[in-house]
Amino acid sequence: MPIITSNEVNPTPVAPPVVTLTVIGGNNRVDLNWNQLAGATAVRVYRRPVGQAYGAPLATMAGNVTAYADIGSATAAPTNGSSYLYKVEVDIP
């Protein structure tokens, strides 16, 4: 019985895509912009006050969306003089 051997494969790891987020604060609002990632199917935006954990997303949008204005949500608008952290999660199948 013959022995059949496959070719050798040496895969090169690929770094995950990076979301570059820019944030501009305003009067009880925060404007967020990020780069579009090829193949993205959904985008989620999160906000948390410094020292607290992230909760549910402020918004879930289509994968081609690259901006969000945080002018309030179920948890209230951002407050002038307060510090917040934001993150954007992108689904890429």
Domain ranges of the chain: 21-91
Residue 42 is predicted with a pLDDT of: 97
Alpha-helical segments (H) within 1-91: none
Query: Residue 19 contacts by C-beta under 8 Å, 6 or more apart in sequence?
Result: 34, 35, 37, 88, 90
Q: How confident is the model at residue 74 (pLDDT cuts 50, 70, 90)?
A: low
Q: CA end-to-end span of the chain, whole Å?
A: 42
Residue 90 C-alpha from the chain's centroid? 5
Segment 22-67, tens digit of pLDDT? 999 999 899 999 999 999 999 999 999 999 999 999 999 999 999 9
Residue 90 is predicted with a pLDDT of: 94
At the topology level of CATH, where does 21-91 sit?
Answer: Immunoglobulin-like (2.60.40)
| Sheet of strand 21-26: strand arrangement | 21-26, 29-34, 67-70
Residue 38 is predicted with a pLDDT of: 92
